[in-house]
């Protein structure tokens, strides 16, 4: 589990981006680092999301990186994606898993709620994401503290993801107790996202 293996990087797109200009930036990051999964987190209308997903799927699948989409369950099969990332705790997991069957990825963001994480795991989630791990300026809720990840990694076999407000110091602190770091806005605002990712994850090397 997380205490014996180096955590993997789970890349997350920005919530808003221009597909044409984002594509080469994404490609550069996927070529420079070992990425376990890519999440499309675009906040837009369904047609815009579908067009973006088509482009990202080609980029990701050419590098054997699975692509999951945030929330838009109906687009997974239609667009040939690898799964969905739910953001409403455990509420939708059972319905989504029953609709998908066993193969597509179903991930679940559970804030800092151990209870939600356990429930989501019991009803079919493939991984649980806790966060924000650090201050983001957007969340007024509870931070997902190191103790939560440490408990989960010791007691639960289901993979756990740390996300939100990550810094190089937090990556170093959480590395022994998490399986994945979901990294997105932390690097995309930088002029050179490859260098930003390298700096952010220095503790993993």
Kindly give the interhelix angle for 19-32 and 46-61, rounded to the nearest 10 degrees.
30
Q: Please, what are the domains in the chain?
A: 8-204 (3.20.20.70)
Residue 166 class from Cβ within 10 Å (0-12 exposed, 13-18 middle, 19+ buried)? buried
Residue 43 class from Cβ within 10 Å (0-12 exposed, 13-18 middle, 19+ buried)? exposed
Note down pLDDT in tens along the chain; length 205 residues: 344 489 999 999 999 999 999 999 999 999 999 999 999 999 999 999 999 999 999 999 999 999 999 999 999 999 999 999 999 999 999 999 999 999 999 999 999 999 999 999 999 999 999 999 998 866 567 999 999 999 999 999 999 999 999 999 999 999 999 999 999 999 999 999 999 999 999 999 8
Phi, psi of 85 (to 5 degrees): -115, 115
Q: Which two tokens stand for residue 20?
A: 């044409």
Cα 52 to Cα 95: distance, rounded to the nearest angstrom: 26
């Amino acid at each position: 589990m997380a205490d014996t293996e180096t955590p993997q990087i789970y890349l997350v797109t920005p919530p808003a981006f221009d597909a044409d200009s984002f594509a080469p930036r994404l490609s550069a990051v996927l070529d420079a680092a070992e990425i376990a999964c890519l999440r499309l987190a675009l906040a837009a209308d369904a047609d815009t999301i579908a067009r973006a997903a088509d482009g990202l799927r080609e980029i990701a699948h050419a590098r054997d990186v699975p692509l999951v989409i945030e929330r838009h369950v109906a687009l997974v099969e239609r667009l040939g994606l690898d799964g969905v990332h739910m953001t409403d705790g455990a509420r939708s997991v059972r319905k989504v898993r029953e609709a998908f069957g066993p193969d597509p990825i179903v991930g679940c963001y559970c804030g800092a709620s151990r209870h939600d994480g356990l429930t989501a795991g019991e009803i079919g989630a493939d991984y649980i994401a806790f966060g924000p791990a650090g201050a983001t300026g957007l969340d007024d809720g509870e931070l997902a503290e190191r103790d939560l990840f440490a408990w989960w990694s010791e007691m639960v076999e289901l993979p756990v993801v740390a996300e939100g407000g990550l810094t190089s110091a937090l990556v170093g602190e959480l590395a022994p107790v998490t399986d994945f770091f979901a990294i997105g806005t932390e690097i995309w605002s930088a002029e050179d996202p490859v260098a930003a990712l390298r700096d952010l994850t220095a503790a993993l090397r």
